Amino acid sequence: MDSMELKYGCNPNQKPARIYTQRGNLPLKVLNGNPGYINLLDALNGYQLVSSLEKAVGLPSAASFKHVSPAGAAVGLPLSEVERKMYFVSKTTELSPLASAYTRARGADRMSSFGDFVSLSSVCDLSTARCIKAEVSDGVIAPGYTEEALALLKAKRNGTYTVLEIDASYTPEDRETRTVYGITFEQGRNQVVLDQSVLKPIVTDNTNLPNTAKIDLVVALTALKYTQSNSVCYAKNGQTIGVGAGQQSRIHCTRLAGDKADLWHLRQSEAVLSLPFLPKLSRNDKDNAIEQYLNDHPETSLFEHEDWKRYFTECPRPFTSEEKATYLKQQKGVALASDAFFPFRDNIDRAHRSGVSYIVQPGGSVRDDLVIEACNQYDMVMVSNSIRLFHH
């Protein structure tokens, strides 16, 4: 048996706390910092996600975890000029594929990623470490670090930043257990492989599924495998753009994730990209300003009491509801995955409003015919692969 003592469990009153293995050694090392119980839950769930994603897609992968669900996950596709601007990356900054994956994962939902735990699928290089250093984060897990990257990360947060190294060759046992109220549960570990082979059968009239959409659907499915259920995920350009986690109702998952996807799209609008930020405004303050700007309404308006002066050199022009609706109507090509079947067509109607063109879900509802009919109405492509991905 190998064990590691922790400060406390989920809350300070939950002591003692530790992690341990029944056989063999722990597959991770603490290279810096003092990880907590929730940090390790995020780290181990996140690493499973990114390692699975790299194997499925063949690209370096990264995830930003908060409270045992991904705020964002992505593969290492290059960033466009607009994406660099919305993610606060200068035109001259060189990004490795892993750094691109991390930047996308962090940028998927920047408000939710504040104070996250980072997971990387491959050795952390200096390019990625520099991107991590610029953000507010609790820690990182990776199968290794270059000497320069490790030195940079160890200096983060005045030397207290948590840096974990995991053994990439580690394979857990086929059975997993957990204890609730003194009762031990046991189940087989979820070893379903999520790659492009699971994107069948297509059940809609439209069967045109381009390779870019296949990558996005695999990203979304893999994210759901490690997201607290019920869950729905929207993805585009090799990254999640909206995750709805832990909702009791499927439509609430779809709405929550869709609202996040809408904000991701709106951040790319000229109205947001041209906001006149104060020169020394931090990234986090910019995120807060953008969130308020896009959600502006009379009760919390930036334009009353001169609150805009906290963020901008001049009062920005309001982004009206009509303008936002028009902008969002232009969006298309979004992929969506659901961890269980859609019971009603209202999920499809809501997905359509956020530009969804491709869907993967298990199917099996008594109303599958109505869900398929709704997809056909919007000329969507839908896969019903019979794979449920509940995670608790």
- Residue 391 annotated among the catalytic residues of the structure: no
> Known catalytic residue: 66?
yes
Q: Catalytic one among 55, 67, 85, 133?
A: 67
Closest CA relative to residue 65, chosen from 192, 240, 283, 202: 240
Determine the residue type at 140.
V
Out of 32, 39, 230, 347, which one is annotated catalytic? 230
Catalytic residue (choose from 91, 297, 305, 392) = 392
Q: How far out from the chain centre does Cα 188 lie?
A: 25
Rounded to the nearest 10 degrees, the angle between the axes of helix 346-353 and helix 250-266 is: 10
Query: Which of 32, 39, 66, 391 is the catalytic position?
Result: 66
Active site residue 7: no
Q: How would you write the chain as a 3-class SS string?
A: CEEEEECCCCCCCCCCEEEEECCCCCCEEEEECCCCHHHHHHHHHHHHHHHHHHHHHCCCEEEEEECCEEEEEEECCCCCHHHHHHCCCCCCCCCCHHHHHHHHHHHCCHHHHCCEEEEECCCECHHHHHHHHCCCEEEEEECCECHHHHHHHHCHHHHCCEEEEECCCCCCCCEEEEEECCEEEEEECCCCCCCHHHCCCECCCCCCCCHHHHHHHHHHHHHHHCCCCCEEEEEECCEEEEEEECCCCHHHHHHHHHHHHHHHHHCCCHHHHCCCECCCCCHHHHHHHHHHHHCCCHHHCCCCCCHHHHCECCCCCCCCHHHHHHHHHCCCCEEEEECCCCCCCHHHHHHHHCCEEEEEECCCCCCHHHHHHHHHHCCCEEEECCCCCCCC
Residues constituting the chain: 392
Is 305 tagged catalytic?
A: no
Q: 73 CB contacts (<8 Å, ≥6 apart)? A: 49, 50, 53, 61, 62, 63, 64, 105, 108, 219, 222, 223, 239, 240
For residue 20, the number of C-alpha atoms closer than 13 Å in the C-beta half-sphere is: 9
Task: Cite the active site residues.
Answer: 66-67, 230, 392
